[in-house]
Amino acid sequence: MHFTKMQGLGNDFVVFDGIRQPVDLQPEVIRAIADRHFGVGCDQVLLVETATSPGSDFRYRIFNADGGEVAQCGNGARCCAVFVRRAGLTDKGVITVETLTGRLTLQHRSNGEITVDMGIPQLAPADIPFRASEVSSEYLLSTGGDTLRIAAIGMGNPHALLRVPNVAEAPVATLGPRIETHPDFPERCNVGFLEVRDRGHIHLRVWERGAGETLACGSNACAAVVAGIRWGELDHTVAVTLPGGILQIEWAGLGQAVRMTGPARVVFDGVWPLSEADCTSRREA
Ligand SMILES: N[C@@H](CCC[C@H](N)C(=O)O)C(=O)O
Q: Structural domains in the chain?
A: 2-119+265-271 (3.10.310.10), 125-256 (3.10.310.10)
**Distances, alpha carbon 55 to alpha carbons 1, 7, 16, 58, 105, in Å:** 28, 27, 22, 9, 11
How far is residue 105's CA from residue 21's CA, in Å, rounded to a whole number?
A: 25
Catalytic residue among 79, 189, 217, 222: 217
Please choose, from the candidates 79, 10, 42, the residue with its C-alpha nearest in 3D space to the C-alpha of residue 272: 42
pLDDT over 80 at 277, yes or no: no
pLDDT over 90 at 30, yes or no: yes
How far, in Å, is the centroid of ligand 1 from the Cα of 208?
A: 6
Residue 259 CB-half CA count within 13 A: 12
Report pLDDT for 169.
Answer: 98
Report pLDDT for 278.
Answer: 62
How far, in Å, is the centroid of ligand 1 from the Cα of 205?
A: 13
Pocket of ligand 1 (CB under 6 A): 11, 43-44, 62, 64, 70, 72-76, 157, 190, 208-211, 214, 217-219
How far, in Å, is the centroid of ligand 1 from the Cα of 219?
A: 6
How far, in Å, is the centroid of ligand 1 from the Cα of 74?
A: 7
Closest ligand 1 atom to Cα of 75: 12
Q: Of all protein residues, whose CA lies closest to atom 3 belonging to ligand 1?
A: 73
- Confidence band (pLDDT; 50, 70, 90) for 130? very high
What percentage of the chain exceeds 90 in pLDDT?
A: 94
Report pLDDT for 276.
Answer: 63
What would the mean pLDDT of 110-122 be, rounded to a whole number?
98
How far, in Å, is the centroid of ligand 1 from the Cα of 21?
A: 25
pLDDT over 60 at 285, yes or no: no
Q: Which of 72, 104, 130 to mutate to test the pocket of ligand 1 (most atoms within 8 A of CB)?
A: 72
DSSP E strand stretches across 85-229? 94-98, 103-108, 114-117, 139-143, 146-154, 158-163, 190-198, 201-208, 212-214
What would the mean pLDDT of 100-112 be, rounded to a whole number?
95
> Cα-Cα-Cα-Cα dihedral of 22, 24, 29, 31, to 10°?
100
- Confidence band (pLDDT; 50, 70, 90) for 88? very high
Question: b/e string for 42-60 if b means 16 or more Cβ within 10 A?
Answer: bbbbbbbbebeeeebbbbb
Catalytic, 73? Answer yes
Report pLDDT for 50.
Answer: 98
Catalytic residue among 42, 73, 79, 80: 73
pLDDT over 80 at 284, yes or no: no
